[in-house]
């Protein structure tokens, strides 16, 4: 067995991958602990552990590169790992020292080591076009309601001037209401007290038109994308498994119909 084959087998072994996964988790925790104020010995130990793990990742990358050769760069996730490790070994002093802050992105390597997370990221990226279209529609709806709110509440009292005195204030206030953050006691009830009960119709209509409707639209786009990825996977899990079951039921039904037709033809 050649050295390259040994590197390939090592890189593809489950034990090796699980060990790297554990190191990624430990490294993510270590980087987080470095943000606290510790005594000098503990801080030094954390930086030492971080450096050791970083060089383990470098060795792991070299093993994978040796085993896979140029095919390594055909996988986008391998390129992702390569870029993160390359940034991590940036010098801690000099003009490139600012790149050291990006070593926290090593925690994102958890995504590249877990197929389930890869599917989620792939679904998120595929959904960007649909999400962008929904976002534009949401911006239009938010703008229309902001103009209405400025005209209705902008000059109706102290709270109306504070939250809806201008188009910019209305946009920000309605965005806060859309997130359902302190919208009732913080904004809506004060405006209703100044303007009257009819103002409640405006806020309820806005929340139904944005928070509930558009949230479900975002979920629908993401769910459809996940279903498409599952079906493309061709395994027996999720939507792909449901599709395979339907296909098998249809095949059985076809066979039953064909056999019944043949039996009728054979009868005298």
Domain-wise residue ranges, the chain: 3-113, 115-261
Which ranges of 180-212 does DSSP label H, i.e. alpha helix?
183, 189-195, 199-207
Helix (H, G, I), strand (E, B) or coil at 255: helix
Token pair for 128: 């960007």
For the chain, what is the mean pLDDT? 82
Taking residue 54's Cβ as centre, other Cβ atoms within 10 Å add up to: 16
CA distances to 126, 220, 250 from 240, rounded to whole Å, are: 18, 18, 15
pLDDT of the residue at 267: 56
pLDDT of the residue at 101: 65
Model-level pTM?
Answer: 0.60
Each residue of 243-257: b (16+ CB within 10 Å) or e?
eeeeeeeeeeeeeee
Q: Which residues of the chain have pLDDT under 70?
A: 90-104, 106, 112, 232-249, 260-268
Q: What's the CATH number for 3-113?
A: 1.20.120.350
Beta-carbon contacts of 200 under 8 Å, excluding residues fewer than 6 positions away, are 188, 192
pLDDT of the residue at 75: 82
pLDDT of the residue at 25: 86
pLDDT of the residue at 234: 57
pLDDT of the residue at 77: 79
Q: What's the CATH number for 115-261?
A: 1.10.287.70
């Amino acid at each position: 067995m050649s050295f390259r084959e040994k590197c390939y087998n090592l890189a593809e072994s489950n034990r090796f991958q699980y060990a790297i996964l554990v190191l990624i988790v430990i490294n993510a925790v270590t980087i987080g602990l470095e943000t606290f104020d510790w005594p000098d010995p503990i801080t030094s130990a954390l930086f030492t552990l971080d450096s050791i793990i970083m060089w383990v990742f470098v060795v792991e990358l070299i093993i994978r590169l040796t085993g896979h050769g140029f095919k390594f760069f055909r996988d986008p996730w391998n390129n992702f790992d390569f870029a993160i490790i390359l940034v991590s070994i940036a010098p801690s002093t000099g003009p490139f020292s600012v790149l050291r802050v990006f070593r926290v992105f090593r925690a994102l390597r958890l995504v590249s080591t877990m197929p389930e997370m890869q599917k989620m990221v792939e679904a998120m990226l595929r959904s960007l076009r649909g999400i962008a279209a929904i976002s534009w529609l949401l911006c239009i709806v938010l703008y229309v309601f902001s103009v209405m709110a400025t005209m209705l509440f902008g000059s109706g009292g102290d709270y109306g001037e504070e939250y809806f005195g201008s188009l910019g204030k209305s946009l920000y206030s309605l965005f806060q209401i859309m997130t359902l953050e302190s919208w009732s006691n913080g904004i809506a009830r004060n405006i209703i007290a100044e303007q009257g009960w009819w103002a409640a119709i405006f806020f309820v209509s806005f929340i139904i038109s944005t928070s509930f409707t558009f949230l479900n639209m975002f979920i629908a786009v993401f769910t459809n994308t996940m279903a498409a990825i599952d079906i493309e996977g061709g395994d027996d899990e999720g939507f792909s498994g449901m599709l395979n079951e339907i296909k098998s039921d249809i095949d059985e039904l076809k066979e039953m119909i064909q056999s019944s037709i043949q039996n009728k033809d054979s009868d005298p």
